[in-house]
Amino acid sequence: MPGEGISVALIGTGFMGRAHSHAYRNVASMFPECPRPRLKLICGRDRGRAEALAARFGWEEVSTSWEEAVRHAGVDLVDVSVPGALHAPVSIAAARAGKHVLCEKPLANSLEEARAMLAAVRQAGVRHMVQFNYRRVPAVALARQMLDEGQLGTLYHYRARYLQEWGVHPQVRAPWKLDKEQAGSGALGDLGSHMIDLCRYLAGEIREVTGMTETFVKERQATGGSATVRVTVDDAALFLARLDNGALASFETTRLAPGRKNHNFFEINGSRGSLYFDLERLNELNFYSLDDPPGRRGFRNLLATAPQHPYAASWWPDGHLLGWEHSHTHAIRDFLVAIGQGQLPRPNFEDGVKCQAVLDAVARSVASRRWEAVDG
Amino acid sequence: MPGEGISVALIGTGFMGRAHSHAYRNVASMFPECPRPRLKLICGRDRGRAEALAARFGWEEVSTSWEEAVRHAGVDLVDVSVPGALHAPVSIAAARAGKHVLCEKPLANSLEEARAMLAAVRQAGVRHMVQFNYRRVPAVALARQMLDEGQLGTLYHYRARYLQEWGVHPQVRAPWKLDKEQAGSGALGDLGSHMIDLCRYLAGEIREVTGMTETFVKERQATGGSATVRVTVDDAALFLARLDNGALASFETTRLAPGRKNHNFFEINGSRGSLYFDLERLNELNFYSLDDPPGRRGFRNLLATAPQHPYAASWWPDGHLLGWEHSHTHAIRDFLVAIGQGQLPRPNFEDGVKCQAVLDAVARSVASRRWEAVDG
Amino acid sequence: MPGEGISVALIGTGFMGRAHSHAYRNVASMFPECPRPRLKLICGRDRGRAEALAARFGWEEVSTSWEEAVRHAGVDLVDVSVPGALHAPVSIAAARAGKHVLCEKPLANSLEEARAMLAAVRQAGVRHMVQFNYRRVPAVALARQMLDEGQLGTLYHYRARYLQEWGVHPQVRAPWKLDKEQAGSGALGDLGSHMIDLCRYLAGEIREVTGMTETFVKERQATGGSATVRVTVDDAALFLARLDNGALASFETTRLAPGRKNHNFFEINGSRGSLYFDLERLNELNFYSLDDPPGRRGFRNLLATAPQHPYAASWWPDGHLLGWEHSHTHAIRDFLVAIGQGQLPRPNFEDGVKCQAVLDAVARSVASRRWEAVDG
Amino acid sequence: MPGEGISVALIGTGFMGRAHSHAYRNVASMFPECPRPRLKLICGRDRGRAEALAARFGWEEVSTSWEEAVRHAGVDLVDVSVPGALHAPVSIAAARAGKHVLCEKPLANSLEEARAMLAAVRQAGVRHMVQFNYRRVPAVALARQMLDEGQLGTLYHYRARYLQEWGVHPQVRAPWKLDKEQAGSGALGDLGSHMIDLCRYLAGEIREVTGMTETFVKERQATGGSATVRVTVDDAALFLARLDNGALASFETTRLAPGRKNHNFFEINGSRGSLYFDLERLNELNFYSLDDPPGRRGFRNLLATAPQHPYAASWWPDGHLLGWEHSHTHAIRDFLVAIGQGQLPRPNFEDGVKCQAVLDAVARSVASRRWEAVDG
């Protein structure tokens, strides 16, 4: 029996607040081995919005002060689902209050902040995780398994793209994402951090980078209004990298790719085979093996819904697709299980710092127009 | 305000019992306009199993007697998620007790049973629905919208396949599906009923059919044991049909298609364009329009996750995929809303009867080796 | 050494006349082991058109009389690429003149004609082939190899579709195809014969059928004019079949499928795996094997351009695609090699008769509205 | 009437010699408007090999001296299909002899050589072309048409990959490609030049680059023997670029991508839509338009075989695929037509120089580890 559960304070009522609420509500239903989370408190600046989410998902209490929420005596775990500028203050305050911390990605708006956050959770001795949820898509976790089995041999190439379309539309849904003060950077931090984390998860540490960024659309309309917002972040970022293991890597992200709604793609080439994945078909992993006989080789489309696949057996029979939201449920399941077992999950704040170090090196490279080493 | 909600008794603790539990648990979180269901009671022959589901999903009470459950004073709606042989007795008893009835598909094991069920719900004046959940996949509902808009012109062809693989494996997960007494038929009723319902939903009523069935694997092992089960139902069924509107239709289902995990596919050809869909990529609808200029025509892959698409705006931003389970949530949402508004939803038991009439005509055709009219 | 070559008289200057001309012109360049054909004579009713093709492809002589052409002393092989109504008279005359005969598909407009043609070539002792060119698409020939290796185990299902779009456009390019006198039938004979031949090639003989046909568009405009043509053939045909080996088969063809330009598709399901193919991606064969380990199974996309694949080594390195026309080159290569070796190739007129017998049974079934046995 | 034709001397008997032979043999058959080439002379160091190709394709004469061949009085056009180190000497000698020159890609092994070649053809006043054949794939030429129509609006991104597999196999088929003396560079020049030319053709001139290269496999076996070959060229190259029009571009090529047989891919994102293409499905162009109504947008798969598409009307009816070789036939068709009309085709040696300047800048960037301007 999972015991009395883990009490959660969710800070944030936006898209991620809603997605995490859904995950907390369902995780123990589908994963009975998981400590049952108690939806203790939801916190947002707009009380009406917080109350609405509380009513919908069953949060017991509502707060409009994150400073109070993170210190709430009845709370074990603080979930930080707010714009980037608040990640550090909220997470650090939560850690100091002795709470476990789950923080949305990227960990921070700067490498310094990220390091301070890591120091804080370490000093407090609490558990911590960064919500790089795409590690928990079953097809992605399957890729990790196959790499562990050695199915790809020596790695030569890692190739990542994260392309979205929404930037081409005049009205934008999350204006804070266009403001450097709040978001730190644009596509680079928002989507690039996902690419970097998956590369570190699947292929290895990034040693050095060279990159470029651009802001094509310099003014935008805020959602639902005629107000013009000045854009202070990039809407596209590209960089090349060398991994510690010698593999070459390429990364490209943009918010200006018509038709690519959520194209988080990776491809890995090794001496024995290849893998590729696209978040727009997230139940599928494509695998090519040189171990197949000549003339019988081809990319194999694996539908990652079989009982042998990560997380899948807890849901439905083979062939019944999962969706995007399940990656959040799985990540939260793994964090709760880790807390229950007194373990530190991955990716934790140390991973968050390492990701931030790569983002930092890319930004330095954009300025210097040279290769820059990732600060280890 | 949705009011005090609708109290549900779920009869069945198998795969569908679990899927429906998940849907009831989530429907009002994601669809605030929906009357909130109260998870009043779960009923199954195996008390331990029912109690486990109750604990996981929050059902308030547990019963091992469907006869008692359907008469429970605190219940408004009975959900019939049991093997086919019990659909009629449970549904009829529920209707006579004045409960609204949601029944899994196919409605019954025979046309007579289905008619008796329709008579019962009509006489009782309760609301009723058949859980042909695939109507509520957003991409499928989008197809219906596009047909309503006339995008396909006059219909010429409806082409359906529902192929699964599991029959090639020696061990089977749901032995009752192999027993004619419990299941009525095999692939024909189980998967064929989905094909028939989607055809009726998208293309029109079926007038006459000619078909064939086969049982390739005549003995099987029950799950987890060495016991041999004699198979008394078909594992494959094919039939051709003429629709009332003159279109030609073909249907094929099997449990013996390696690689096809849940290939519920349809294609519609009309005088202005075509549509096709595959449940293994359920977020996608493919559309070809002759209204596009010559040389610029091609199948357009629509990712049905945009705010303009059915149900999608209640979930996540564009490009964030939904899964199989969402079709159940949507169906239950629509039933609850219909009850709240005093409306009769579709597909209701009348649709269930019409589907059963087609299954019946196919079975007659298999026996007579001729075309058979569908009993109107 | 290929020797002095085989002199060819090509009867027909339409689409197929052009495609065969191209194949004769190239076959020995790419397949040096093949006897070099001599492009002796091209024959067509329209002298200007025949002369134009002669000039373009290098035919030495031009004739407007097939009766003379088939008796030409300098000719070894007569290629019958004319509308169906002429297949029998031209082929029989050619055989009686002692010429080898290559006849376009379907072999004839009726089973009686087909049988008379077979009798004629047998009596004359000449070599004969029917140009069911799709057997010679490398990916299709690869499918045959893999079946020979037993990769699919016991066959359960053969599923064929041949869908085209052109019938939805008011103007048609080959009006003779709409005239029963000239074409015998519509989509059934034209496209259905290809499906039947591939089924016989890949899966086995067809024992019995039940089918339906329809003529949706009853009047059409001739190409380039305003004249109205009455349509006397079907534009769609569907039938189910039982094979001698017990497998079930389905066939569907239409000229009214918007978006399906040349969708000649088959899928085969067996106890060990599956294969599928689509002529619109003719370099690819999709293969699923239950011999792969659980959790590592998926359809494998084989690009049939590797040196191990049929015909491919004679063209370009792996990854360099072939086109539709290559299937004709390969078929003609095999016929010329067979003639050089004194062998009878497949599919020959006996195959043509067997295909015709299935078409005949379908037509009888459409009339009787019952299952009909194929006349063996 | 095209007149008496253009006499060709083909220098080279390897893969490209064979591909060009096939194209010369067929071009006037399929494109009657094209001046008929006369296959005058084939030249290779290995007389037996040259004679074999002459016999197969109909070359009238054979030579083993390119110096003599390029001065042959009966020759109008010299086709340079030899390893890169010979491009300059052969092309320059041919120009000085007053012959038109078709040169395989990349134009040269260095920018200096390329410039000398351009100077030579200009001074001689002959016509010249570089065989960047992929501009003449119908789907690629269609992309150019659609860009000309403004379908993509302002360009933001150009994304290119050219991935092959053969480098992972121990034996290699063209050892000269591994030798810097003969090939100039590895994947960078061989495949990278195709990417650069397509970018220039479709998106615009490249202003500056930053890149990296690697030689993962440093020793290899020569084909058919046990001899070890030291590899003196890269087997992978990646670079980022800024175009003159402000768009960002990324390029990646490797010979070490298992499963990617000939994956020459590009994607273009603009303010109104996107296009993408993959040479492994070369008949298809994918198009997404923001002009489609919201909720009805998706990538449209155009099968570029319709009469409206470039080159397609000269081949077969819609839906009948073309292959890789057709791109060579089309390029040679355009060169012959240009010669006949006294025009200079594209891409000519000036394009070859511009491509070489980009390759040169990439190589400089690899050495300097900085962004480098393309030498204009």
ipTM of this model?
0.96
pLDDT beneath 50, residues of chain C: 1-3
Residues of chain C with Cβ-Cβ distance to B254 below 8 Å are: 156-157, 269
Q: What is the pLDDT of residue D271?
A: 98
Of B32, B322, B325, the CB nearest to A316: B325
Token pair listed for B255: 């449990």
| Minimum CA–CA partner of D211 in chain A | A240
- The Cα C357–Cα C112 span in angstroms is 9
Asked if pLDDT for residue A171 goes beyond 80, the answer is no
Quick: pLDDT tens for B259-301. 999 999 999 999 999 999 999 999 999 999 999 999 999 999 9
- The Cα D49–Cα D57 span in angstroms is 12
Q: Which helix (H) or strand (E) holds B143?
A: helix B138-148
Structural contact between residues B308 and D295, judged by C-beta atoms closer than 8 angstroms: yes
| Minimum CA–CA partner of B213 in chain C | C248
Token pair listed for D238: 């990646």
Would the CB atoms of D298 and B287 count as touching at under 8 Å? yes
Quick: pLDDT tens for C115-126. 999 999 999 999
Q: What is the pLDDT of residue A4?
A: 64
Quick: pLDDT tens for B209-244. 999 999 999 998 876 667 788 899 999 999 999 999
Q: What is the pLDDT of residue C257?
A: 98
Quick: pLDDT tens for B118-156. 999 999 999 999 999 999 999 999 999 999 999 999 999
Token pair listed for A144: 């990790």
What b/e readout covers C25-56, taking b as 16+ CB neighbours within 10 angstroms? bbbbbbbeebbbbbbbbbbbeeeebbbbbbeb
Three-state SS at D24: helix
- The Cα B232–Cα A302 span in angstroms is 32
Within 18-47 of A, beta carbons closer than 8 Å to B belong to 19, 21-22, 25-26, 28-30, 32
Residues of chain C with Cβ-Cβ distance to B290 below 8 Å are: 168, 258
Cβ-defined contacts of A61-68 (< 8 Å, 24+): A63/A9, A66/A11, A66/A90, A66/A93, A67/A93
Q: What is the pLDDT of residue C4?
A: 64
Q: What is the pLDDT of residue A224?
A: 66
Would the CB atoms of C269 and B256 count as touching at under 8 Å? yes
What b/e readout covers B92-113, taking b as 16+ CB neighbours within 10 angstroms? bbbbebebbbbbbbbbbbbbeb
Q: What is the pLDDT of residue C303?
A: 98
Residues 6+ apart with CB under 8 A from C335: C77, C100, C102, C127, C129, C345
Residue A13 has, within 13 A of its CA and on its CB side, a CA count of 23
Return the CA Rg of chain D.
20
Residue B68 has, within 13 A of its CA and on its CB side, a CA count of 10
Q: How many CB atoms lie within 10 A of CB D72?
A: 18
The torsion of the CA quartet D121, D125, D127, D130, rounded to 10 degrees, works out to: 20
Token pair listed for C177: 């195809």
Structural contact between residues B265 and B254, judged by C-beta atoms closer than 8 angstroms: no
Q: What is the pLDDT of residue B2?
A: 39
Q: How many CB atoms lie within 10 A of CB C254?
A: 29
Q: What is the pLDDT of residue C2?
A: 39
Does B221 lie at the interface with A, CB-CB under 8 angstroms? no
Structural contact between residues A163 and A257, judged by C-beta atoms closer than 8 angstroms: yes
Q: State yes or no: cis peptide before C83, omega within 30 of 0.
A: no
Would the CB atoms of B287 and D296 count as touching at under 8 Å? yes
Does B306 lie at the interface with D, CB-CB under 8 angstroms? yes
Query: What does DSSP say about strands B155-163 and B248-254: parallel, antiparallel, or unpaired?
Result: parallel
C251: closest CA of chain B, how far (Å): 9
Chains touching C (3+ CB pairs < 8 Å): A, B, D
Domain annotation for chain D: domains and CATH numbers: 6-134 (3.40.50.720), 135-345+354-368 (3.30.360.10)
B43 or B3, which is more confident: B43
Does B128 lie at the interface with D, CB-CB under 8 angstroms? no
- The Cα C301–Cα C231 span in angstroms is 40
Structural contact between residues D201 and D296, judged by C-beta atoms closer than 8 angstroms: no
Q: What is the pLDDT of residue B173?
A: 67
Of C15, C262, C316, the CB nearest to D324: C316
| Minimum CA–CA partner of A214 in chain D | D248
CA A232 centroid distance within chain: 23
Quick: pLDDT tens for B173-204. 677 888 899 989 999 999 999 999 999 999 99
For chain D, the first-to-last Cα distance in angstroms comes to 42
**DSSP secondary structure of C276-316:** EEEGGGTTEEEEEETTSPTTS--EEEEETTSTTSTTGGGS-
B300: closest CA of chain A, how far (Å): 11
- The Cα A39–Cα B125 span in angstroms is 40
**Bridge partners for A212 per DSSP:** A238
Does B164 lie at the interface with C, CB-CB under 8 angstroms? no
Residues of chain D with Cβ-Cβ distance to A299 below 8 Å are: 259
| Minimum CA–CA partner of D151 in chain B | B296
Percent of chain A with pLDDT strictly greater than 90: 92
Q: What is the pLDDT of residue C173?
A: 67
- No. of H helices and E strands in chain B? 11, 18
Does C320 lie at the interface with D, CB-CB under 8 angstroms? yes
Burial of B65 (0-12, 13-18, 19+ CB in 10 A): exposed
Quick: pLDDT tens for B55-94. 999 999 999 999 999 999 999 999 999 999 999 999 999 9
Quick: pLDDT tens for B42-57. 999 999 999 999 999 9
pLDDT band at A3 (very low <50, low <70, confident <90, very high): very low
Quick: pLDDT tens for A198-215. 999 999 999 999 999 999
Q: Which helix (H) or strand (E) holds A362?
A: helix A349-368
Q: Return the amino acid letter for D308.
A: Q
Would the CB atoms of D261 and C319 count as touching at under 8 Å? yes
Residues of chain D with Cβ-Cβ distance to A157 below 8 Å are: 236, 252, 254, 256-257
Residues of chain D with Cβ-Cβ distance to A209 below 8 Å are: none
Does B297 lie at the interface with D, CB-CB under 8 angstroms? yes
Would the CB atoms of C270 and B290 count as touching at under 8 Å? no
Query: Order of strands across the sheet with A219-222?
Result: A171-172, A219-222, A228-230
Token pair listed for C36: 């070099």
Token pair listed for D271: 């303010």
Would the CB atoms of C210 and B210 count as touching at under 8 Å? yes
Structural contact between residues D231 and D253, judged by C-beta atoms closer than 8 angstroms: no
Residues of chain D with Cβ-Cβ distance to B300 below 8 Å are: 292, 296-301
Structural contact between residues B268 and B157, judged by C-beta atoms closer than 8 angstroms: yes
Q: What is the pLDDT of residue D173?
A: 67
C311: closest CA of chain A, how far (Å): 13
Does B216 lie at the interface with C, CB-CB under 8 angstroms? yes
Q: Return the amino acid letter for A51.
A: E
C269: closest CA of chain B, how far (Å): 5
Cα distances (angstroms) measured from residue B8 to each of B21, B37, B40, B78, B339: 10, 7, 5, 6, 12
Residues of chain B with Cβ-Cβ distance to C157 below 8 Å are: 236, 252, 254, 256-257
Asked if pLDDT for residue B32 goes beyond 90, the answer is yes
pLDDT beneath 70, residues of chain D: 1-4, 173, 223-225
Residues of chain B with Cβ-Cβ distance to D296 below 8 Å are: 287, 300, 302
